Structure 1
Amino acid sequence: MAPPIAINVEAETDTSAVTILGPLTLDSVANRRSASGKLVAGVAASIPSSTFKGNAHEKKHKAKNWDYRLSLECRTREGNSLKKVAKYLMTPGLISLGGGLPSSEYFPFDTLSVKVPTPPHWTEAETRESGTTLEAGKYDLQLGKSVYDISTAFNYGLGIGSPQILRFVIEHTEIVHNPPYADWNCTMTVGNTSALEMAIRMFCERGDMMLSEEYTFSAAVETASPLGVKIASVPMDEEGLSATGLDDVLSSWDEKARGASKPFLLYTVPIGQNPTGATQGEQRRRDIYAVAQKHDLYILEDDPYYFLQMQPYVGPDHPDPPPPKSREEFLKSLIPSYLSMDVDGRVMRMDSFSKVLAPGCRLGWLTASEQIIERYTKHADISTQGASGLSQLLFFKLLDEHWDHGGFLDWLVHLRMEYTKRRNVIVGACDRYLPREIVSWAPPAAGMFQALHIDYKKHRSYPAKSLLELEDEIFMACIANGTLLIKGSCFYADPTTQHDTMFFRATFCAAPFDKIEEAIKRFGDALRGSFGISNDSNGV
């Protein structure tokens, strides 16, 4: 089929549209889509996000204005002047000779085909046997076969993402989080690490400091440092970030001693925290949000593990709790996000498909006020140019056309049960193989990580050797014994701060169950050798 010589986007209206009352739910998505009319979006289409939201938001108040918190770079960024004309592509009958868009005639791809699980058969074996093959053609949109195709997805797009996948994530965000203010919006990203780098540049100048848990995602520190931004660490406990500790750090801030102004940007991983595995409960989040209001903080909610919240740990002698009985029960079981309690628009929530679908596709999204999203997309339009069209098309076919919102939630319930099994395997292995007199742990409630705390002061070389020296000795003993865990010191938010805690991060997300067991056994043997504990001791 010959490629189009122009881009022609026709607006269509469904005359049987209905009014959607209240927030968007699983049951009302179809009605909302009907009310909005048929989605027809070609190359680089620009469609207002309000088209994809329930009308309950119209009665909510608007977000706080954050101009005074934005960096000079962010305030002065004008965006991509060529992409500003994309809105005119919606003009009926327009023949475009403006954009430098390659003709899809020269895309050497005619068909994209993938085989995926057919709900409710999620396993690899079931997918091989009874999976569904999804197919995207080059000109499906023109032929009326789909609202998204290769000729559209594989061409240039906008930093905010394609309307086709953006519609799905906006609906998903409203169903799961229902932000309590009116002018929230979403944009696609190329993953949370990229989104974090752009966010730091939006809010911070060189010489600024931001706040984070005292142990944090190492890439966050490594992202901030070259930008001239240091991290002020906040104490943690078994629930992660301490609200009292956060308030204390800010209330006692000494600009002269710290060499920086009082920080206003808080970076936190609230669910299955990397590296400690800690999860902030609902009340802890509300307490932290209150501190944020008191000190006028802006919160970066990095939450890739949100849907890896597991079933409660009941111990080795009890059967695992059954899965949620319904999709609604599953949604109610999730800890409310910061976004869901954000009455001010002071949260930028970063979501990712990496931990629940495929990290190599580099596709995620963030949610914030329209003001912040507009600033973010101006940056994306002249840097990343937006998320991969291939990834957006692939995920659209899977999530929107095949699984829909209900099927996606069913997949997430499946992951919950799978990760619950994995968590139970590593905790059981710890019970069997680790010497309790020197190692302690708590079963994580979410995520991929098990923190193993070491009482290093019982080491035979303490105090002659420091914490870091002993940590390195144990690490090398593990390597010699054939197992790899990551040192806790790799996750210091502020390496200049004195630490009195040693732990190692183990992950249970990928290795086969028997390999998880063997790795923990080897870790226990390495500890006994380093500490000089008899091999028949398990500390019980």
Structure 2
Amino acid sequence: MAPPSALEVFPETDTSTFTVPDRLTIQGIAKRRAASGKLIAGAAAPADIASFKGLNHHIHKSKAKRWEPRMTEEAKSRGGSSLKNAAKFLKTPGLISLGGGLPSADYFPVEEMGFVVPRMPLQGTNKVSTGDSEVDGRPANSTTQITAGKHDMAAGTSAFDIATAFQYGQGHGSAQLLRWLVEHTELIHDPPYADWSCTMTVGNTSAFEMLMRMFAQRGEWILTEEYTFPAMVESAAPMGIKVAAVKMDEGGLLAESLDEVLSNWDETVRGGPKPFVLYTVPTGQNPTGSTQTLERRRAIYAIAQKHDILILEDEPYYFLQMQPYIAGEVTDSQPQSHQDFLTSLVPSYLSLDTEGRVVRLDSFSKVIAPGVRVGWITAPEHICERYHVHSDLSTQSPSGVSQLMLFKLLEETWGHEGYLDWLLHIRREYTARRNVLLLACEEFLPKEVVTWTPPMAGMFMWLKVDWKAHPRFHDGVTLLEVEDELFHRNMAAGTLLMKGSWFVGEKGKGSGAEEMFFRATYAAASFEGIREAVKRFGVAVRELFGLKQEDFGKER
């Protein structure tokens, strides 16, 4: 992901040339900010996203494919909020507004808001986390107190304050935070077409639901992995949208299976037209923990081009990519610099998208906190415009309280560099947690019945259980009966793992009818809790399958 070593020069006219700019860097963001001047954005302010990207940085790139013909009538007919459209007049000098329905900030019962965050880069955290509550000997000066006042903008002490953030906002979110998100997206992914844009969401689940209303009608199908995020299926079902499964292996969705499903689509048998939307979680996939390689992503993108598919790239776990796990060893070969970290990441679909056929869903849920309910999509401008018009008349915008907190943290305290430090930190923490789970599986699980592939990202591991080894398999016991019995035996032992059948995308289809899985997570329990939970699961498996119980001695 390093910038090009030499500048390319392309013809602009018969008599002139232009130079392709270097890829955006953290230093380049600072220069762009200095050149653009101070950002002034009051209540419900519109956002000039093109200026956030840099006016001349993308002129050499081609424009995105147009998706309006594929949009639903609902999406195409939305006219937006007439009241919010009037917000552009609030910048008129000397204007006294009696038009807007904005309550007076004088009556917001919050004068100041404060919180404490880690200071980047983290100091005194060389020890591997235990997952418990102690601070690991971190020095007292490793935190920063952040304070936001009601009228900081008027006082000239901040570009965002309580009086503005707590007001009604535009569907695309506040200009102050949106600028940071646009810069982050360009810094990490550098979308290779010109007219990409970003708009905020209230999280990826909401974003998916709204995108389905934009691109799928009742009775139509979408494509996804054969095991997938249940909330996606459960969101689509009430809208009458059906899910077609694409086979997977340990590396995630299979390009050849995607091609096969699309090439052999029979509208009469399926009862609906050939789908043109693919929903995928490419990195640390929920539930399987699989991560698609760059080669796999390129192959899938090529299939999407062949069949004119729109890819919904759901990536809450993208920055939780890890070093390979070596059985029996705990390595600490983590990236030591921002550039090493960025280079280590598998390139996103967005970074491969030359045609504007990817809608990337990003979220702070797994890297900051789920409760902030702030995310964003990156897509062609015309898709983002339709999305935030929808937001104006539904979710309105993400919580202003959350946006203010994130702005104070990401913009004014950490900056882009500090955020990368934080991502490096949680990558190390989740890697340590993954390794504890894998070591426990090697120690406590009967490998003749339970097998797994070490995850390369995210917070989940997919445990395959050979249900055909069950003593009553030849007497006609079913997969779902064995799964349910093991689930309840494990619960009785004091451990919860999720049934694999809950994650089947196309019910009754694919390998879900032949293979049995359980999903484990290493996200939250203490290290000792992870070990004990795996030990209890091993006991439950041995009991159910009539295997000899092992004597593991006293707990460590």
Query: TM-score, normalised on structure 1?
Result: 0.94
Q: 2:166 aligns with which of 140, 154, 163?
A: 154
Equivalent position to 1:314, from 326, 329, 352: 326
User: Against the structure 1 CA distance between its residues 47 and 90, is the aligned structure 2 distance closer, same or farther, given a 3 Å change threshold?
Assistant: farther
1:33 has 2:33 as partner: yes
Which residue does 1:389 correspond to in 2? Answer: 400
Cα separation, 2, equivalents of 1:58 and 1:197: 33
Spell out, residue by residue over 1:46-93, the C-alpha distance to the aligned partner (whole angstroms, 9 max, x if none): 121011113321221110110111011101111111111122223333
Letter in 1 for 2:386: R
- Report the equivalent of 2:234: 222
CA deviation profile, 1:352-402 (whole Å, cap 9, x unmatched): 000000101111111000000000001100000010000000000000000
* Structure 2 unmatched ranges of 5 or more: 1-18, 126-133
Partner residue of 2:116? 115
| Shift of residue 213, structure 1, vs aligned partner | 0.1
1:198 to 210, 235, 255: 210
1:459 matched to 2:451: no
Q: Report matched runs for 1:494-513 at 5 Å.
A: 494-497=506-509, 499-513=513-527
Q: 1:239 aligns with which of 251, 255, 274?
A: 251
Write the deviation string for residues 258-309 of structure 1: whole angstroms up to 9, x where unpaired: 1110000000000000000000000100000000000000010000000000
Residue 537 of structure 1, CA deviation: 8.6
Q: 2:530 is matched with which residue?
A: 516
Residue 479 of structure 1 is aligned with which of 491, 495, 499?
491
Contact 1:312 1:321 in 2 (8 A): no
Q: CA deviation at 1:119?
A: 1.4
Are the equivalent residues in 2 in contact too, given 1:63–1:183 (CA < 8 A)? yes
Per-residue deviation at 1:198?
A: 0.2
* Residues 90-489 of structure 1 aligned to structure 2 (within 5 Å): 90-121=91-122, 125=135, 126=138, 130-317=142-329, 319-463=330-474, 464-489=476-501
Query: Displacement, 1:329?
Result: 1.1
Cα shift at 1:239: 0.8
Moved more, 265-274 or 44-53: 44-53
Distance 1:446 1:322 in 2: 15
Distance in structure 2 (CA, Å) of the matches to 1:375 and 1:47: 15
Amino acid at match of 1:30: A
How many Å separate the matches in 2 of 1:523 and 1:109? 49
Q: Give the Cα–Cα distance (whole angstroms) in 1 for the partners of residues 529 and 145 of structure 2.
A: 33
The answer on whether the counterparts of 1:363 and 1:387 sit within 8 Å (CA) in structure 2 is: yes
Cα distance, 1:322 vs structure 2: 2.8
Large movers: runs of 4+ above 3 Å: 126-130
For residue 22 of structure 1, report the CA deviation from its aligned partner: 2.8
- Once the two structures are superposed, what CA deviation does each residue of 1:297-340 show, in whole Å capped at 9, x if it has no partner? 001000000000012212323x5133212101111111000000
Partner secondary structure for residue 35 of structure 1: helix
- TM-score for both structures, normalised by structure 2: 0.91
User: Deviation per CA, 1:481-504, whole angstroms, max 9, x where unpaired?
Assistant: 111000000001011325211110
- Paired residues of 2:20 and 2:60 also in contact (CA < 8 A): no
Kindly indicate whether the alpha-carbon contact (under 8 Å) linking 1:486 and 1:505 is maintained by their aligned counterparts in 2: yes
Q: Does the CA-based 8 Å contact 1:192-1:351 persist in structure 2?
A: yes
Instruction: Report what 2:85 is aligned to.
Output: 84
Contact 1:116 1:127 in 2 (8 A): no
Identity within the alignment, %? 57
Say what the alpha-carbon RMSD is for the aligned residues: 1.5
Contact 2:47 2:174 in 1 (8 A): no
- Alpha-carbon distance in structure 1 between the residues aligned to 2:414 and 2:318: 20
* Residues 128-163 of structure 1: per-residue CA shift (max 9 Å, x gap): 653110000000000000000000000000000001
1:50 matched to 2:50:
yes
Contact 2:195 2:381 in 1 (8 A): yes
Structure 1 residues 240 and 56, CA, compared in 2 at 3 Å: closer, same or farther?
Answer: same
The match for 1:22 is 22
Bigger shift: residues 126-135 or 168-177: 126-135
The amino acid across from 1:39 in the alignment is L
Tell me the matched-pair count: 519
Secondary structure in structure 2 of the residue aligned to 1:142 = helix
Q: CA deviation at 1:23?
A: 3.0
Deviation digits for residues 446-490 of structure 1 (CA, Å, limit 9, x no counterpart) = 000011101111111214111111111110110111110000000
Q: What secondary structure does 2:155 align onto?
A: coil
Q: Tell me how far apart the structure 1 counterparts of residues 96 and 269 of structure 2 sit (CA, whole Å).
A: 62
State the alpha-carbon separation in 1 of the partners of residues 146 and 86 from structure 2. Answer: 33
Render the CA deviation track for 1:194-227: whole Å, top value 9, x for unaligned: 0000001000000000000000000000000001
Q: Which residue of 2 aligns with 1:6?
A: none
In 2, Cα distance between equivalents of 1:207 and 1:395? 40
Equivalent pair of 1:362/1:387 in contact (CA under 8 Å)? yes
Name the SS for the 1:56 alignment partner: coil
Are 1:311 and 1:417, in contact at CA under 8 Å, matched by a contact in 2?
no
SS in 1 for 2:31: helix
Distance 2:140 2:117 in 1: 9
CA distance in 1, matches of 2:318, 2:95: 44
- Could you list the per-position Cα deviations for residues 209-260 of structure 1 after superposition, in whole angstroms to 9, with x for gaps in the alignment? 0000000000000000001101000000111100000000000000000111
User: For residues 24 and 127 of structure 1, what CA distance do their matches in structure 2 show?
Assistant: 35
Counterpart Cα distance in 2 of 1:212 and 1:442: 21
Q: Compute the displacement of 1:127 (Å).
A: 7.7
Structure 1: runs of 5 or more not aligned: 1-18
SS in 2 for 1:266: strand
Task: Give the SS at the match of 1:155.
Answer: coil
